[in-house]
C-alpha cells in the first residue's frame, strides 16, 4: 500500500466519528433511493404483468338495466376487441357476525376473458346451477371465511344461501373500497363476491339483463373517441357513467401511490447527498489547512500537486463509496419491508421484491459525482501551498471588529469577556457558523414535516366527520324511495334528525375538460352537512347552482361564478348550464352538491331519494340491515375506526421523518462543533493558562451552538412551512381531487419541533464534551509556533 494511502486510513481512523456521521448521511440518502425506487418499480412492473396476464379491462361502463344483447352488440365495433356484460350490485351478507357487512356482487361468465380472477384457494364456481361464490381473499381473511363455508346474501329482504368455492384476487379490486369517499379499505365490512351471471340474474330478478360492462380495446385505438361514441349512442338509453382504465378507482389509487414513491425517491436522496457534500467540503477544507506543513513536506520530497490533491480527493470518494455501499445494502433490506407493507393495502398477488441494478448504478454514480466534485473544490487549496511557505506558520488573518463593536460600542462594553470570545469566534468563522445554523434549519424543517404529518389525519378526521359531515349514519337504498318512506323510517326507529338525499352521476364539462362526478342533492336547510369555502366562511346550499369541492374544481379548472355543463342519463342526455356558486372544502374524495330543487329541475325527478343521512345516538344498523330495500349502511364511527387502523403506518412515517431530521442535524452539528474545537485547540489551551476551567471552555462551545440553534430555529420555521407546502402540492399533483391536505400548521407543532431540535442539540453537545476533556493543552502550547 502506498504511503499516502496509509496516511489516508490513519486520517479516517483519527476522526472516525466525524467521518462516520458523513457516511450515515450518505447511507440514508442511498437507502431511500434504493428502497423506494425498487418498491415503486416492483409495483409498477408487477402491476403491468398482472394486468396483462389477467386481461384487465380498458374501459368500464355502468348502466341502468339494459338487455345483455344490447351490450354484446357493442363488440361488433372494430375498435373493441371484446365486451362482457355484467351485473354489479351491493347487498348485505350474513357471515355469522352481529352486523352484516356489505358485499359487492360481480357477475362472471364461464368463458370470461376480461378481468380474470387469480385463485388463491378453491375453484371458480361452475355454471351448472351451483350456488357458489368466490370471495375476495382480503375480505375472507378479515371475516375468518374459507373454502366450503356458507354465507347468506340478503337481497330484497330474503336470504339466499351460497357456498364459498374460492378465495381470489382481481385486477379490478387491487385496492378494494366501496367508493372514492371511503378512501381506505375496510376488509371487515366491505368485500367483493363473484357469482355466475345466470345465478345473479336469477337472484336479482334481472333475466337477460345487465347493468355493467367491461371492454377490452384493440391496441393503438383512441380510447377517448370510443368512449365518446358509446356515450353518444347510449345518451338516452340508460348509460350512467363510462370511464377508461386511467380513471378506474383501484387503478387510479395504486397509480397515485407509485407516482408518490417515485417523487419521494428523487427528492430525499438529492437533499441528503447535497448536505453530505457540504459537510465533506467543510471537513476536507479544514483538513487541508491543518495539514499545511505536511503538504509542504510532501511536495518537497517529490510529490506533485495532483498527487497530493488526489490524496484528499480519495478521502471524499472513499467516504462516498462506503456510504453508498452501506446505503445500497440497507436499501435492499428496506425494499422488502416496504414491499410487504404495500401488500397490506394493495392486493397484488404477483408482487415480488426485485433488485434493479439500474438504481444501484445511478446511486453510485451520483454519490461519487457529488463527493468527487466536492473533494476537488475542497482540496484545490493544495495547489497554492508552496513547500518553502509551508515551513513557516500561516499568517493569522487581520483582526476585525464585529458588527456589535462597530455599531453599538456601549452595548459591547457591557458584554462579559466569555460572551465576547463567543461572538468574536462566530464573526471570525462565520461560514462554519452559517453551516451549523443551516443544519439546524434543515433539521427543524424535516422534523416539522414529521410533526405536521403526525397530527394531519387527526385534523382531517375531525374536520371531515366532525365539521363537514356531521351525521352519524348514511343509508343507501337499492331502489329510490319517496319522502313517505323516509318519514316512516324516522318514526319506526325514533330517529331525531333524518335528511333524504338523491345521488346521481353527472358528466361535468368545462371547455375541453370533462369528468364524471357523483352529485349529491340535499335539502337546502340541511343541518347534517356544513359547507365552508376556502376562506372559512359558511356556505349554504344555493337555490340554483352547485357547490364543488376544491379538488374537483381545480381538476376541471373552474372557480366561483363559472358556468359548467351538466348532463346525465337521468336528464335524458340533455345538457344544462349551471353556475358554480362556491368552491368548498372537502378533505376526503371529491364532491358536487346541490339542492333537491335544483336536482328536480335538472332531472324532472320529484319525491325521489336514493338514501338518507341521519343523526342518532342509538345503533340503528341492527334495525335496518335486513330490510328489503337497504343496499348499505355505514357510520361515521366506522370510517373513523378504519382510519384509526392505519394510524400505525402514519405514526411510523412521521416518526421516520423526525428521526431522519434528528440524524441529519446531529451529523451536521457534530462535525461543525468538532471542527471548531480542533481549530481552536491553541486558543482553548491559552484560555486554560489564563485560568479557564474545562467546564468554562465547554460553555463557550455551548453558547456558540446555542446561538446557531436560535438562528436555525428562526430560519427553520419558514423553511419548514415552505417544505410542508411544497410536499403537499407535490402530493396533490399526483392525487388529483381525491385528497385535500390543509397546510395550516398549529403553534403547538412549531413548539414541539423546536423542543425536538433542542433535544438533538443537547445530544450533540453531550457527544462532543469528551473532545474538550481530551484536548492536550500542554502539547498544543509546546508546538513550534510558541
Higher pLDDT, 672 or 738: 672
Q: Where are the domains of the chain?
A: 1-57+250-396, 59-249, 408-468+637-786, 473-616
Q: In Å, how far are 453, 657, 762 from 661, measured between CA atoms?
A: 14, 6, 15
> Does 585 or 579 have the greater pLDDT score?
579
Q: Is the pLDDT of residue 168 over 70?
A: yes
Higher per-residue confidence, 691 vs 50: 50
Q: What is the three-class DSSP state of 332?
A: helix
Count CB atoms within 10 A of the CB of residue 539.
17
Q: How far is residue 123's CA from residue 222's CA, in Å, rounded to a whole number? A: 37
Residue scoring higher pLDDT (297 or 368):
368
* Backbone torsion region of residue 220, taken as left when φ is above 0, otherwise alpha when ψ lies between -120 and 50, otherwise beta: left
Over residues 245-260, mean pLDDT: 88
Q: What is the pLDDT of residue 58?
A: 94
pLDDT tens readout for residues 475-515:
888 888 999 988 888 887 788 899 999 998 888 888 888 88
pLDDT of the residue at 777: 67
CB-count exposure of residue 757 (10 Å: 0-12, 13-18, 19+): buried
- What share of the chain in percent tops pLDDT 90? 28
> 148 pLDDT exceeds 80?
yes
pLDDT in tens, 413-433: 778 888 888 888 788 778 778
Q: What pLDDT is recorded for position 240?
A: 84
Does 735 have pLDDT greater than 60? no
Instruction: Tell me the range of 67-76, 448-457, 584-593 where mean pLDDT is highest.
Output: 67-76
pLDDT of residue 88: 94
Q: Predicted confidence band at 785 (pLDDT cuts at 50, 70, 90)?
A: very low
| Interatomic CA distance for residues 744 and 727, integer angstroms | 13
- Specify the higher pLDDT residue, 665 or 81: 81
**pLDDT for res 731:** 64
pLDDT per residue over 501-555, tens digit each? 999 888 888 888 888 888 999 999 999 999 988 888 899 999 899 999 888 888 8
Q: Between these two residues, 609 and 618, which has the higher pLDDT value?
A: 609
Q: What is the pLDDT of residue 786?
A: 42
**CA–centroid distance for 548 within its chain:** 24
Percent of the chain with pLDDT over 70: 93
| Cα-based distances in Å from 387 to 4, 304, 306, 311 | 17, 11, 15, 17
β-strand partners of 504: 519
User: What does pTM read for this prediction?
Assistant: 0.78
Cα distance between residue 465 and residue 462, in whole Å: 6
Nearest C-alpha neighbor of 114 from the set 171, 163, 40: 171
pLDDT(776) > 80: no
- The pLDDT assigned to 130 comes to 79
CA Rg value for the chain: 34
Amino acid at each position: 500500500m502506498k504511503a499516502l494511502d496509509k496516511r489516508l486510513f490513519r486520517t479516517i481512523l483519527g476522526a472516525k466519528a466525524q467521518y462516520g456521521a458523513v457516511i450515515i448521511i450518505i447511507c440514508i440518502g442511498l437507502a431511500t433511493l434504493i428502497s423506494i425506487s425498487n418498491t415503486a418499480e416492483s409495483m409498477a412492473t408487477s402491476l403491468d404483468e398482472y394486468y396483462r396476464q389477467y386481461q384487465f379491462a380498458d374501459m368500464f361502463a355502468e348502466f341502468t338495466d339494459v338487455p345483455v344483447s344490447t351490450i354484446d352488440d357493442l363488440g361488433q365495433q372494430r375498435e373493441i376487441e371484446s365486451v362482457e356484460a355484467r351485473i354489479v350490485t351491493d347487498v348485505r351478507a350474513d357471515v355469522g357476525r352481529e352486523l352484516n357487512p356489505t358485499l359487492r356482487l360481480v357477475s362472471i361468465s364461464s368463458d370470461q376473458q376480461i378481468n380474470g380472477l387469480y385463485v388463491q384457494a378453491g375453484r371458480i364456481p361452475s355454471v351448472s346451477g351451483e350456488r357458489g361464490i368466490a370471495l375476495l381473499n382480503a375480505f375472507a381473511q378479515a371475516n375468518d371465511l374459507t373454502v366450503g363455508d356458507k354465507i347468506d346474501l340478503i337481497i330484497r329482504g330474503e336470504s339466499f344461501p351460497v357456498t364459498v368455492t374460492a378465495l381470489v384476487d382481481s385486477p379490478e379490486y387491487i385496492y378494494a373500497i366501496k367508493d372514492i369517499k371511503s378512501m381506505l379499505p375496510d376488509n371487515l365490512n366491505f368485500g367483493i363476491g363473484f357469482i355466475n351471471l345466470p345465478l345473479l340474474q336469477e337472484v336479482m330478478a334481472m333475466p337477460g339483463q345487465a347493468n355493467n360492462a367491461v371492454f377490452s380495446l384493440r391496441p393503438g385505438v383512441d380510447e377517448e373517441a370510443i368512449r365518446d361514441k358509446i356515450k353518444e349512442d347510449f345518451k338516452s338509453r340508460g348509460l350512467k357513467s363510462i370511464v377508461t382504465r386511467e380513471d378506474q378507482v383501484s387503478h387510479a389509487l395504486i397509480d397515485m401511490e407509485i407516482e408518490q414513491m417515485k417523487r419521494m425517491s428523487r427528492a430525499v436522496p438529492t437533499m441528503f447527498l447535497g448536505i453530505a457534500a457540504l459537510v465533506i467540503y467543510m471537513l476536507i477544507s479544514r483538513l487541508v489547512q491543518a495539514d499545511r506543513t505536511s503538504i509542504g513536506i510532501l511536495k518537497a520530497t517529490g510529490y506533485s500537486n495532483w498527487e497530493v490533491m488526489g490524496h484528499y480527493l480519495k478521502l471524499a470518494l472513499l467516504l462516498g463509496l462506503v456510504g453508498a455501499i452501506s446505503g445500497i445494502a440497507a436499501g435492499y433490506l428496506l425494499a422488502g419491508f416496504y414491499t410487504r407493507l404495500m401488500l397490506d393495502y394493495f392486493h397484488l398477488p404477483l408482487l415480488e421484491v426485485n433488485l434493479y441494478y439500474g438504481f444501484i448504478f445511478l446511486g453510485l454514480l451520483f454519490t461519487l459525482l457529488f463527493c468527487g466534485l466536492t473533494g476537488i473544490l475542497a482540496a484545490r487549496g493544495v495547489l497554492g501551498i508552496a513547500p518553502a511557505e509551508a515551513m513557516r506558520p500561516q499568517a493569522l488573518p487581520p483582526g476585525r471588529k464585529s458588527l456589535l463593536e462597530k455599531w453599538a460600542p456601549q452595548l459591547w462594553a457591557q458584554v462579559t469577556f466569555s460572551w465576547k470570545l463567543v461572538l468574536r469566534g462566530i464573526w471570525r468563522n462565520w461560514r462554519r457558523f452559517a453551516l451549523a445554523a443551516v443544519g439546524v434549519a434543515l433539521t427543524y424543517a424535516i422534523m416539522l414535516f414529521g410533526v405536521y404529518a403526525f397530527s394531519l389525519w387527526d385534523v382531517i378526521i375531525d374536520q371531515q366527520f366532525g365539521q363537514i359531515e356531521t351525521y352519524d349514519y348514511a343509508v343507501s337504498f337499492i331502489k329510490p324511495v319517496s319522502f313517505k318512506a323516509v318519514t316512516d323510517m324516522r318514526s319506526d326507529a325514533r330517529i331525531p334528525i333524518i335528511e333524504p338525499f338523491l345521488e346521481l352521476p353527472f358528466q361535468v364539462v368545462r371547455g375541453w375538460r370533462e369528468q364524471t362526478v357523483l352529485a349529491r342533492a340535499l335539502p337546502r336547510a340541511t343541518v347534517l352537512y356544513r359547507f365552508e369555502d376556502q376562506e372559512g366562511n359558511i356556505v349554504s346550499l344555493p337555490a340554483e347552482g352547485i357547490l364543488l369541492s376544491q379538488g374537483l374544481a381545480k381538476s376541471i379548472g373552474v372557480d366561483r361564478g363559472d358556468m359548467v355543463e351538466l348532463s346525465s342519463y337521468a336528464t335524458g342526455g340533455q345538457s344544462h348550464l349551471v353556475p358554480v356558486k362556491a368552491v368548498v372544502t372537502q378533505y376526503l374524495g371529491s364532491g358536487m352538491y346541490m339542492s333537491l330543487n335544483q336536482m328536480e329541475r335538472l332531472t324532472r325527478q320529484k319525491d325521489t331519494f336514493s338514501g338518507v343521512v341521519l343523526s342518532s345516538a342509538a345503533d340503528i344498523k341492527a334495525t335496518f340491515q335486513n330490510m328489503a330495500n337497504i343496499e348499505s349502511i355505514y357510520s361515521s364511527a366506522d370510517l373513523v375506526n378504519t382510519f384509526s387502523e392505519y394510524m400505525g403506518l402514519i405514526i411510523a412515517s412521521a416518526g421516520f421523518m423526525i428521526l431522519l431530521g434528528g440524524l441529519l442535524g446531529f451529523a451536521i452539528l457534530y462535525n461543525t462543533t468538532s471542527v471548531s474545537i480542533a481549530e481552536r485547540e491553541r486558543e482553548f489551551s491559552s484560555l486554560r493558562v489564563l485560568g479557564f476551567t474545562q467546564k468554562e471552555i465547554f460553555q463557550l462551545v455551548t453558547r456558540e451552538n446555542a446561538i446557531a440553534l436560535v438562528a436555525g430555529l428562526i430560519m427553520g420555521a419558514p423553511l419548514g412551512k415552505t417544505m410542508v407546502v411544497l410536499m403537499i402540492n407535490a402530493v396533490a399533483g399526483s392525487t388529483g381531487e381525491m385528497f385535500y391536505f390543509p397546510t395550516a400548521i398549529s403553534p403547538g407543532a412549531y413548539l414541539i419541533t423546536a423542543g425536538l431540535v433542542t433535544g438533538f442539540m443537547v445530544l450533540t453537545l453531550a457527544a462532543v464534551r469528551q473532545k474538550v476533556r481530551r484536548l492536550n493543552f500542554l502539547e498544543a502550547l509546546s508546538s513550534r509556533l510558541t
